Amino acid sequence: MDQDKANFRAEIKRYLEKLSLREKALIAVGAFVLGILGLYALYQPIHRAFDRQERMVMKLSSDAKDIRLALTQYLTLKQRLGCTERKFKRANLSARIRTHLEKVLENEGKIPTGQYNIKRNAKRLLGEEFELSPYTIKFDTTSLKDLVSLLQTIFDGSKPLLITRLDIQKSRRSDKLSVTIDVTSIRKVKSRALDENTESA
């Protein structure tokens, strides 16, 4: 076996010795080109693998940022919900909401009886633990100061309610403000069934 290899090398050596200088140069260039092509063929899959790896790392990094952002938003909302829940738990909402709103309108908003309208809308559930009772209030006023006091008492008074919509239209001919407010009371319930007899409109 070793003898065959030696004979093969000797034949190649004799063949190369017979070649002219130009032929030897052409063979050397050809070998160099083949080597470059071989390296290129080897480089391509490695490059693609690194490229895939880089894209994967970038995607994971982007996903991680999205997850951190979503987690931050979730924790912030959870904290706000906890504060709101504690606030409504402390409030005494046993009194009828309509009666409470009438007092706020008359005492804080300085709106006389009969010059405002309170409409109770259909109840609905928030998840499985909370019941929402929405109301729509309409009235006219000329005092922005009284309006601000009214809104502050609705949201941050002894019986806090959520203000979900506020629409104020100013009259073109006078200082009268036409106000529409949507408010919602939140009550914790023990079951999904709504108690229709809890409170009459």
pLDDT in tens, 157-172: 778 888 888 999 888 8
Cα→Cα distances 151→62, 75, 181, Å: 43, 28, 9
Decide: helix, strand or coil at residue 184: strand
More confident residue, 126 or 33: 126
Q: Is the dihedral of CA 149, 151, 152, 154 positive or negative?
A: positive
- What is the distance between the alpha carbons of residues 161 and 177, in angstroms, rounded to a whole number? 22
Q: What is the mean pLDDT of residues 57-84?
A: 63
Quick check: 114 pLDDT over 80? yes
The domain segmentation of the chain, as residue ranges, is 1-90, 97-188
- Global confidence as pTM: 0.51
Task: Assign domain 97-188 one CATH number from 3.90.10.10, 3.40.1390.10, 3.30.70.60, 3.30.70.120.
Answer: 3.30.70.60
